[in-house]
Amino acid sequence: MDLFFWEIARASGLAAYAALCISILSGIAPRTQALSFLASNRAVRALHDWTPWIVIPAALVHIVALLLDATARIGVLDVFVPFLTSYGQLAIGLGTISVDLLIVVLVTTWLRRRFSNNAWQWWHRVSYLGFGTMFLHSMLSGTDLTSPVIAVLSWASAIGIAYYALERLGKALNPARIRA
Amino acid sequence: MKANSPTLPPIPARAGPGRPKKRSGPVPAWGLKLGGFLTTLGIFAGSFGYANAHLYVTNAPLQPATVATTGAMAATSASTATAVTSTASTTTTTLTSAVQTTTRPAVTVTKKS
């Protein structure tokens, strides 16, 4: 039974990574036209607003499976406080940080009306940091990342997101280009 | 009878003040959501199948401490094997020359005496 939780934890970890990739990409896409070949900005925005419904379950399953798995030896405190585990402090701690940042992004999004638009945008940009820590967590601790196919797909999606994030940053720093 | 209608001029390629208007793809919002859901679910199912087929990954970047302990215990109990712990918390068992290969057939069945 323990191996079942271990398999679930591995699979849901990769699913959570994929869901977060979809969420981040659909968040960047309206400004960068990354998905304009696929759908209108309105549809992409609707997808982005809906992505918590795939990110949260995948992340929750990953966490619960690791808590139930006796081999991983992850405690409830390790889910929220980083670098407390008896092994792989950095690798697992980065995952903990990404969970914390995910919670921050989700809570601030639900409380969006209480923030000014500028403040909310800054809180929402934390998601880039969350994705970065999740990527490093998957690279440093991901058991299945030893598979060349899974590694290539993971790296390709991360590089794609980094590319569009930089493109969006460039447009944000040079607003004259958007108006032109 | 069909009325004579004047030939309409071709639609200019450039619409608006500056550049041509980019046409977006035809997928509706529900299609994107369904695609996102199925992608995540497919990756979960595929990864579960992969994990099921590859339960023990010896070159995984992170090994739980129990594995390292087991490896160390095995090294202590068997004098012919030495455990070398690397910086990435992985345990590598190196067999010394005291362990030799045999020509005997492999034991595949155990019987109660």
Number of domains, chain B: 2
Residue B70 lies in a domain: yes
Of B27, B40, B51, the CB nearest to A10: B51
B30 min Cα distance to partner chain A (Å) = 8
Q: How far apart are CA A168 and CA A20, in angstroms?
A: 18
Q: What is the pLDDT of residues A98-154, one digit of tens each?
A: 999 999 999 999 999 999 999 999 999 999 999 999 999 999 999 999 899 999 999
Residue B34 lies in a domain: yes
Q: What is the pLDDT of residue B105?
A: 72
Residue A152 domain boundaries: 2-179
- Which has the closest alpha carbon to A65: A10, A9, A143, A2? A9
Q: What is the pLDDT of residues B55-97, one digit of tens each?
A: 888 888 887 655 555 545 544 544 444 444 444 444 555 555 5
- List chain B residues with CB under 8 Å of A43: 27-29, 31-32
- Which has the closest alpha carbon to A141: B66, B83, B64? B64
Name the DSSP letter for residue A72: T
Of B25, B43, B67, the CB nearest to A37: B25
Count Cα neighbours of A142 within 13 Å in the Cβ-side half-sphere.
24
Number of domains, chain A: 1
Residue B1 lies in a domain: no
Is-contact A163 A30, C-beta < 8 A? no
Contacts of A65 (CB under 8 A, 6+ apart): A5, A6, A8, A9, A12
Q: Are residues B74 and B91 in the same domain?
A: yes
Q: What is the pLDDT of residue B61?
A: 83
Residue B51 lies in a domain: yes
Give the angle A87-B89-A16 at the CA atoms, nearest 5°.
60
Q: What is the pLDDT of residue B22?
A: 64
Q: What is the pLDDT of residue A21?
A: 97
Residue B52 domain boundaries: 30-56
